[in-house]
Structure 1
Amino acid sequence: MAGRSGDNEVVEAAIPLAFTAAWASGINPYLLVFLMGILGRLTSLDVPVAFERTDVLIVFAVLVAIDAVADKIMWLDSAWDVANTAIRPIAGGVVALLIASPSVDLPSAVIAAGGGAVALITHFAKATTRLAVNTSPEPASNVVVSVAEDVAIVGVVITAIFNPWVAGAIAAVLFTVAVIVAIALAGTARAVIRNRRNRRRMPKQAPVAPPATGPESGSDERIGGA
């Protein structure tokens, strides 16, 4: 009983960090894993050992660079979101599970499932927001939103070093705000996309020829007058 109680305490203590990681995975799992690996090496943050491996850090550093470019280009960011639809929720569940417990028991499995759900919802909130942002004619908004997301991840994960519960609370607030904003923007995004599709389907009108002018027109008028 004492051992089981101790395991439950470990799992409960891991909940805020697991939630934070799941939220971050829904936005940018590559930055999350890379950042946690670096922090695991440099600080006392308890992260999965695999994240600290040099080969893992190199691979995820490359993925972070790719994401940094793809996530800031209009419409390419939405395509990137589609490509990551399965990756982000799975990453959220796996990272949450690794943080909760190295062995899969019922509480850890629940945390993993919850992490996957949080990451999935966050992913859809991000994708919806980006789709709405892409309806803006200027490209600067994509860069601003992308940088804000990355800064939020870095700030919250670093906060987790000092106080996981505070980091979890911040992640929960950001998660809620993201969902609310995405719901608010979803209608706008759908309306803009619908209008664009309708314009594409409209048949093109043939150009109207301008009225004839010049000597020939004048001669016709004189003939008519005669």
Structure 2
Amino acid sequence: MDSIWNGLMAWIAGWSTQAGGQVADGVGAAASHLDMPSLLALAAALGWVSGFRLYAVVFLVGALGAVGWMPLPEGLQVLQHPLVLAASGALLFVEFFADKIPGLDSLWDIVNSVIRVPAGAALAAGVFGADNTTMALVAALMGGTLAASSQAAKTTTRAAINTSPEPLSNIGMSLVEDGLVVAAIWLATHHPLLFGVLLLIVLVLMWIVTWMLFTFLRAAFRRLRNWFVGSARVAG
């Protein structure tokens, strides 16, 4: 009986080792097919959507890597660690609801603005890892700039939306941002050139909208300040 049990355990151990080697070889082969346009597109996507949903990016990419659906470059494999997944998942849960409450969403953006830009730069640099210092630096600059652009657009858009008392516009915009994370990562990994073209168009539109909303908010705050000043003079 012991010999049968020992033989069975030896067979299971041998099979698991062989299967694990095949999975590792498959992931390594898939990762080697990521050419330069694909890597640049992935770095740009991670940087850009980090300005909208940093924790969603970290959790989604880590989860896809953990289940083997997306081979991660060596610099991003830390995202699939169970502790990182647990932390990013918990923060994603909090952000999902906080981002849909008027007023609280803007406060959440202000608090997280200090981490989104450097995190976007770090994620973009992680696509190339430490072995390619030059491209990692280029990716970091690109990712940080894209994260700052999307963070600015998100903050000004939410501030303008919060001038309206109804909550549906906040929820709708938040859901759009949720969808952007999934769409950007999928498009960057499956159609990198198309993603690059669309990203350039979206960036131009974002800068235009951000400037228009900034002008609107500045005028709104000026009118509000004049109203308070006028009320104070009347009361005096």
Q: Alpha-carbon deviation of 1:147?
A: 0.7
- Structure 2 counterpart of 1:74: 102
1:27 alignment partner, SS class: helix
Cα deviation code 1:27-72 (max 9, x no counterpart): 1111111111122233134351111111111111111111112211
1:159 alignment partner, SS class: helix
Q: Which runs of 5+ in 2 are unaligned?
A: 1-33
1:28 alignment partner, SS class: helix
Please tell me whether the aligned partners of residues 10 and 100 of structure 1 are also in contact (alpha carbons under 8 angstroms): no
1:108 alignment partner, SS class: helix
Cα deviation code 1:134-173 (max 9, x no counterpart): 1122121111111111111111212233223333333333
Please tell me whether the aligned partners of residues 100 and 108 of structure 1 are also in contact (alpha carbons under 8 angstroms): yes
Q: Which amino acid in the other structure matches residue 30 of structure 1?
A: Y
Please tell me whether the aligned partners of residues 18 and 99 of structure 1 are also in contact (alpha carbons under 8 angstroms): yes
Larger radius of gyration: 1
Inter-partner Cα distance in structure 1 for 2:36 and 2:165: 47
TM-score under structure 1 length normalisation: 0.79
Q: Which runs of 5+ in 1 are unaligned?
A: 1-8, 207-226
Q: Check if 1:51 corresponds to 2:79.
A: yes
- Structure 1 counterpart of 2:66: 41
- Structure 2 counterpart of 1:133: 161
Please tell me whether the aligned partners of residues 71 and 80 of structure 1 are also in contact (alpha carbons under 8 angstroms): yes
- Structure 1 counterpart of 2:220: 192
Q: Which moved more, 1:90-99 or 1:164-173?
A: 164-173
Q: Check if 1:84 corresponds to 2:109.
A: no
Please tell me whether the aligned partners of residues 74 and 139 of structure 1 are also in contact (alpha carbons under 8 angstroms): yes
Q: Which amino acid in the other structure matches residue 60 of structure 2?
A: L
> What is the correspondence of 1:198-217 to structure 2 with a 5 Å cutoff?
198-201=226-229, 202-203=231-232
Q: Which amino acid in the other structure matches residue 44 of structure 1?
A: M
Structure 1 residues 172 and 53: alpha-carbon distance in aligned structure 2, compared to 1, 3 A threshold: farther
Q: Which amino acid in the other structure matches residue 26 of structure 1?
A: G
Structure 1 residues 35 and 171: alpha-carbon distance in aligned structure 2, compared to 1, 3 A threshold: farther
Give the percent of matched residue pairs that are identical in Structure 1 and Structure 2.
33
Q: Which amino acid in the other structure matches residue 115 of structure 1?
A: G
Q: 1:20 aligns with which of 45, 55, 72?
A: 45
Greater fraction of residues in helix: 2
Cα deviation code 1:98-137 (max 9, x no counterpart): 0122335122212111211111121111111111111122
Structure 1 residues 96 and 131: alpha-carbon distance in aligned structure 2, compared to 1, 3 A threshold: same
Cα deviation code 1:5-41 (max 9, x no counterpart): xxxx955541111011111011111111111112223
2:52 alignment partner, SS class: coil
Q: 1:32 aligns with which of 54, 57, 61?
A: 57
- Structure 2 counterpart of 1:110: 138
TM-score under structure 2 length normalisation: 0.76
